[in-house]
């Protein structure tokens, strides 16, 4: 029931946002890159999105904590037509999900997950939005039997990792060398 309510609330919020933008004459549409496949060229796709969002690794590192980081990513995604909302859903039931509706993208995140996990899940779902293939992570997804979806999940995980910690970035490479 919590998961279904979260899906409905996000869709309703997207509809209200669309209505408000139309009423105000504000143009807000999904403007993330559209990918046909991210299994090949994952790093290139991650760098493309980073450029579109306009947030460098240097800026990311300067955020004082995970809460500020989540808010920074959320704001950058909103400017590109992706509404991000947090819902009180058990992680075992639903960790995160994505939807496409009203010319917008939407990502729902479980408030019961750690901030770091929320940020990773956010970009896992953003990969689904880029593929225009909405998804859900958690028990809801594990019960699905769609083989295509099963192939996409590891690629979306790899995308989120490459986006958040690009191995070619000097800051990330330096931190890894210290380990």
What is d(CA 105, CA 31) in angstroms, rounded to the nearest whole number?
9
Neighbours of 51 (CB within 10 A): 11
The predicted structure's pLDDT at residue 161: 93
**Predicted confidence (pLDDT) per residue in 1-52, tens digit:** 889 999 999 999 999 999 999 999 999 999 999 998 887 789 999 999 999 9
pLDDT at 98: 96
What distance in Å separates the CA atoms of residue 55 and residue 123, rounded to the nearest whole number?
14
What is the pLDDT averaged over residues 76-84?
A: 97
- 106: its two tokens: 């939407």
- 77 versus 166: which is more confidently predicted? 77
- Alpha-carbon torsion, ordered 140, 37, 163, 29, to 10 deg: -80
Decide: 131 and 116 in contact? Cβ < 8 Å.
Answer: no
Say what the pTM is. 0.89
72 has a pLDDT exceeding 70: yes
């Amino acid at each position: 029931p919590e998961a279904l309510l979260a899906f409905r609330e996000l869709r309703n919020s997207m509809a209200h946002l669309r209505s408000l933008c139309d009423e105000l004459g504000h143009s807000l549409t999904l403007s993330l890159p559209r990918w046909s496949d991210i299994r090949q060229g994952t790093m290139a796709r991650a760098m493309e999105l980073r450029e579109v969002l306009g947030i460098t690794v240097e800026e990311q590192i300067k955020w004082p904590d995970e809460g500020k980081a989540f808010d920074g990513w959320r704001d950058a995604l909103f400017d590109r037509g992706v509404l991000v909302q947090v819902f009180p859903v058990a992680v075992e039931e639903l960790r995160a999900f994505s939807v496409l509706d009203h010319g917008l993208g939407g990502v729902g995140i479980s408030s019961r997950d750690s901030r770091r996990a929320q940020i990773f899940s956010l970009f896992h779902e953003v990969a689904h939005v880029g593929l225009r293939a909405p998804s859900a992570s958690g028990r809801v997804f594990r019960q699905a039997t769609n083989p295509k979806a099963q192939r996409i999940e590891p690629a979306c995980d790899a995308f989120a990792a490459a986006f958040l910690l690009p191995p070619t970035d000097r800051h990330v490479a330096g931190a890894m060398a210290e380990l």
